[in-house]
Structure 1
Amino acid sequence: MRWKRAAGRALLVCSLLFAGHAGAQAGEPAGGADGRGPITLVTGGDLTGYLRGILDGWNGRHPGEKVTLVELPDAADEVRAQMISELRSGSDRFDVLNIDVAWTSEFAAHGWITPVDAGRLPLDRFLPPVVDTATFRGSLYAVPYVTNAGLLYYRKDVLDREGKQPPRTWAELRRLAKTVAPRHGLDGYAGQLLPYEGLTANVVEAVQSAGGTVLADEGARVTVDSPAARRGLSFLLDGVREGWIPRRALTFKEEESRRAFQDGRLLFLRNWPYAYALADGKSSRVAGKFGAVPLPGPDGQGSSVLGGSNLAINAHSRHRRTAADLISYLTSEPVQRRVLSEGSLPPVWASLYEDPALVRRFPYLPTLQRSVLTARPRLKSPRYDQVSLAVQAVMHDALTHGRSTDATVARLTRELRAIAGRG
């Protein structure tokens, strides 16, 4: 997903920066038993333009602990596969890894990344929910660097003409999508419902917004067979069945859904904050005509999944002290400010969401802060990839063929239990 790729690149570059900052003096040796020396930061392909300059500046000032940037392909599954291939082999090629928040439990469970000293980090300055994405079985195994949460974009001009406010509940969303949207030649609501990681995010958001869960106990227990989870799944299943979620949304990823909204074809869109600036750009048909609010739920504000990425240290790194110093630098307030102001990526420092200058430049920040504070991590499991693939397959089949909620829950429970029960 786009936010993953952008966040990954940002994390990678920043990690490189810090490697030189905190440990090495210009005259120190390149490596050795002290855990310091040149390091490598690995991430997805760098789609942002600001990181390279940050790294060049850092490496110029700290020649003894330079950071080398390794960019993997853009696709998240390819990034994960190549990282895992190196880690499984015991390679020390990568020192700092920019990983999707959902991979932390898996990488920690396999011993591929090493615990982080929480005492040296300003975790109390971070938005509280983001820290949970970096923990596994009570220990901190990574450090939050970029966060993310879903928002509900809406056509303000259309709702204003109708004398309506943006929806706060699913019932209001459904009613407006079914009645107001057709009067203006629009589809009602869309998220990302193609069978890929975005569908997992949409499904988990619906379930947790209704007060349910899919998994518990670090993925060891399947909990999707509950009244709350059924209510969440029904929100999506009924929406497609009733038509206020158009069937074309079953082919949408982030970009397809963004373009549909930006081209003036949707009344409501669930997407990440990156879409705000693009929808307000010169080429957008809805520039100046839309707004964004937190995702709705059954009885009020819903709950987004937490996106973003974390920085982790390879358990086989020979220069862990430099790697740790790099992470401390990347999560400092000045760098976090640049992550937002230059990279347009949501930072983890809470104070930046209330900075007047930043709010003027990024007007969605207060809304995003509210969304992050009520968000929760995606499914935490040592077998996250298998779990996510199962959720995608079952839900896309159900949405495509109009399966009942009961049938969908039964199949999800069966397939997830098979995964959770593997040794």
Structure 2
Amino acid sequence: MRWARAARRGMLIAALLLTGYAGGGTSPAGPADSRGPITLATGRDLTGYLQQVLDGWNSTHPDEHVKLVQLPEAADEVHAQMADSLRSGRGRFDVLNIDVAWTSEFAGAGWIAPLDPAALPLKSLLPSVLDTATFRGRLYAAPYVTNAGLLYYRKDILDRAGLEPPRTWAELERDAATVAPRHGLAGYAGQFLPYEGLTVNVDEAVESAGGTILGPDGRTVTVKSAAAREGLGFLMRGVRDGWIPQEALTYKEEESRLAFQDGGLLFLRNWPYVYDMASAPGSKVAGKFGVAPLPGPDGPGASVLGGSNLAVDAHSRHPRTAADLLAYMTSEDVQRQVLTRGSLPPVWADLYSDPELTARYPYLPVLEQSVKAAKPRPKSAEYEQVSLAVAAVTSDALRQHASVRASIARLDRELRHIVSRDK
């Protein structure tokens, strides 16, 4: 794992040189009622909607202007830049749009400030998303965007073959191995480059088989199980037998989306944002695909709960403005824009049954079902290292460098070493 840390550090140094940021020293946090201009840091906005949302705030808060800072697309790079800024204590970012899996890590390190639950519309949000915003019983973030993995499939091809979308791994494997080649397509792809996306895909497979990677306390390793071997074995078998193409081992979200959108895949596991892009003019699959829940061993599987939370830097110079921005971003109006402008799943529960929205986004009922059944990623104060270990070990496994049993045993050892630091 040293090579991974060294590579990440190199990318981080390059990024800091480009932005002109220099560490060293800390900046005192502003008084709790301090107001003024703030920054919001986020990973790259793939649909370009977020600036429009912030324009709405800025037009009514001229003295509390929010500057949007877009970091790279890759989650690992976003994490590295955010963590370095938070660790320095300089308050470079006031509000951070963080992956839901980072809430526990950032809170455990004391980098983000606890929030007042009464200041947020928590009762209007999907219950399943609230757990991602808490750490050891306290609220540290505002749920902002939720997400659940979906199965995109070529409806035109399955209809021609008289087939329904697969509900089980066996059906997916059969169709990916037999139907796809008859139409010159690869069978199935997810996000299998060794990064956070691979951790998510593996976690989904393990959860779908009835297993877990860590226990609920985040300190107990549970990956050494028959369920984990079954989940990882399913993915390894796909690569070995060819219905998961070798190219998929280099895919992140966008590479896999383009492979499906350009007509090269029968099945794709990806997030809901793909729906609008694959339906847009110029897409080779527009009007030809459908969306279904992820399959599992014996029926619908379990998605990993994705999305992002908004957190306030513990060293923010204007924490009152930052807190008010969180309330604005979780309001019903902004949450509607999250869906209609950003093609992202909102956390406001009533929007999933809004007739106007369900007519425009017919996948919403499937998405709501997937979100409600989704499982959170391991909640650990050492989540970054947990994710790196899962991605590194399972990447080797997908490349057939070790057996299923040996890979799970190695992962068990590495995770036990990592979580021991949190005890």
TM-score, structure 1 normalization: 0.88
Q: Does 1:348 align with 2:368?
A: no
Question: Mapping of 1:3-402 within 5 angstroms?
Answer: 34-401=33-400
Q: C-alpha deviations, 1:236-267, integer Å up to 9, x for none?
A: 11222222222222122222222222222221
Q: Is the 8 A contact 2:31 2:319 kept in 1?
A: no
Cα shift at 1:392 = 1.1
Alpha-carbon contact 2:116-2:139 (below 8 Å) kept: yes
Which amino acid in 2 is paired with 1:302? G
For 1:377 and 1:70, how far apart are their aligned partners in 2?
27
Partner of 2:4: none
- Note the C-alpha offset of 1:205: 0.4
Residues 32-85 of structure 1, C-alpha deviation per residue, up to 9 Å, x if partnerless? 663333332222344443333443343232233332333333433332222222
Task: Rate the CA distance shift 1:65–1:264 in 2: closer, same or farther, 3 A.
Answer: closer
**Cα offsets for 1:297-332 (capped at 9, x unmatched):** 112111111221100111122432222221111101
C-alpha contact 1:237 1:402 (8 A) present in aligned 2: no
Q: Does the 8 A contact of 2:215 with 2:222 survive in 1?
A: yes
Q: What does residue 6 of structure 1 align with?
A: none
Query: How many Å separate the matches in 1 of 2:77 and 2:289?
Result: 35
Q: Which moves more between the two structures, 118-127 or 49-58? A: 49-58
Distance 1:253 1:93, change over 3 A: closer
Tell me by how many angstroms 1:381 deviates. Answer: 1.4
Answer yes or no: is 1:415 the counterpart of 2:414.
yes
Aligned to 1:13: none
**Cα distance, 1:394 vs structure 2:** 0.8
RMSD: 1.9
Instruction: Kindly provide the amino acid, as one letter, of the partner of residue 298 in structure 1.
Output: P
List per-residue Cα deviations over 1:266-317 (Å, max 9, x = no partner): 2111111111122222222222111010101112111111221100111122
Between the aligned partners of 1:256 and 1:40, the Cα distance in structure 2 is 30
Name the SS of the counterpart of 2:405 in structure 1.
Answer: helix
- Indicate conservation of the 8 Å contact 1:188/1:244, yes or no: yes
Query: Partner of 1:18 in structure 2?
Result: none
Structure 2 distance, partners of 1:181, 1:56, is: 45
Listed one character per residue, the Cα deviations across residues 341-364 of structure 1 (whole Å, up to 9, x for unaligned) are 122221101111111111222221
For 2:56 and 2:396, locate their aligned partners in 1 and report how far apart those are by CA, in whole Å.
50
Q: Report the counterpart of residue 20 of structure 1 in structure 2.
A: none
Structure 1 residues 413 and 208: CA distance shift in structure 2, 3 A: same
- Number of equivalent positions: 393
Distance 1:59 1:290 in 2: 39
AA in 2 matched with 1:330: M
SS in 2 for 1:133: helix
Sequence identity of aligned pairs in percent?
70
The alpha-carbon distance between structure 1 residues 241 and 108, as it changes in their structure 2 partners (threshold 3 A), is same
Change (3 A) 1:230 1:46: closer
CA shift, 1:411, in A, is 0.9
Structure 1: runs of 5 or more not aligned: 1-30
**Deviation of 1:218 (Å):** 3.9
Unpaired runs of 5+ residues, structure 2, are: 1-29
Paired residues of 2:94 and 2:318 also in contact (CA < 8 A) = yes
Aligned-partner SS, 1:167: coil
CA distance in structure 2 between the partners assigned to 1:195 and 1:275 by the alignment: 21
Give 1:179 shift. 2.3
C-alpha change, 1:286 and 1:107, in structure 2 (3 Å) is same
**Following the alignment from structure 1 to structure 2, what is the Cα–Cα distance between the partners of residues 367 and 296?**
13
Q: Give the 3-state SS of the residue equivalent to 2:421 in structure 1.
A: coil
Distance 1:410 1:166 in 2: 34
